[in-house]
Amino acid sequence: MKARKPFRLQGVLRYRQQVEKQLKGELTRLTQALAEAESIRLRQFQQWESCCQTLHIMQQAGLAATDLFIYSAFLQRLSTEMRQQDQAIEGLHQAVERTRERLEQAMRDRKILENLQQKFAFQRHKEDLRDEERTLAEMALRRFAHE
């Protein structure tokens, strides 16, 4: 029986599987970072909203100018931090989307190679059946010739 030839793209398939696994890990990490950034942004907004309500109540009660200045400066700083957090969230959204697209492409690439591997296995199986048929036919001819 002749030697079976291996699937020549097996190394490429393993590499594609590894790339896909790495991209899945990266997407998970980025998704977690995005969720954390959004959680921070929510806490910032809640703090800002609470301070605005407190400031409004204190203004009605007759807040001193220095206290008003302190609250205003704090709210301004908090607003700046919220804008920075919004930018960070937008950057993470873009990174998640880019990674998701790369992962989808890696999955398509892997699937193509797996389909090729299945076709190769099917072809090999057909060749094995043909070889077996030839062997059986030769055995039958030898047996018939000896009789």
- Residue range 41-48: mean pLDDT, rounded: 95
Residue 94 lies in a domain: yes
Q: Which residue segment(s) compose the domain that 36 sits in?
A: 10-109
- Residue range 113-118: mean pLDDT, rounded: 92
Structural domain count, the chain: 1
Q: For residue 2, what is the DSSP state?
A: P
pLDDT tens readout for residues 46-70: 999 998 898 888 888 887 888 888 8
Residue 138 lies in a domain: no
Asked whether the predicted pLDDT for residue 2 surpasses 80, the reply is: no
pTM above 0.85, yes or no: no
pLDDT tens readout for residues 64-91: 888 888 888 999 999 999 999 999 999 9
Q: What is the token pair recorded at 103?
A: 């992962």
Residue 117 lies in a domain: no
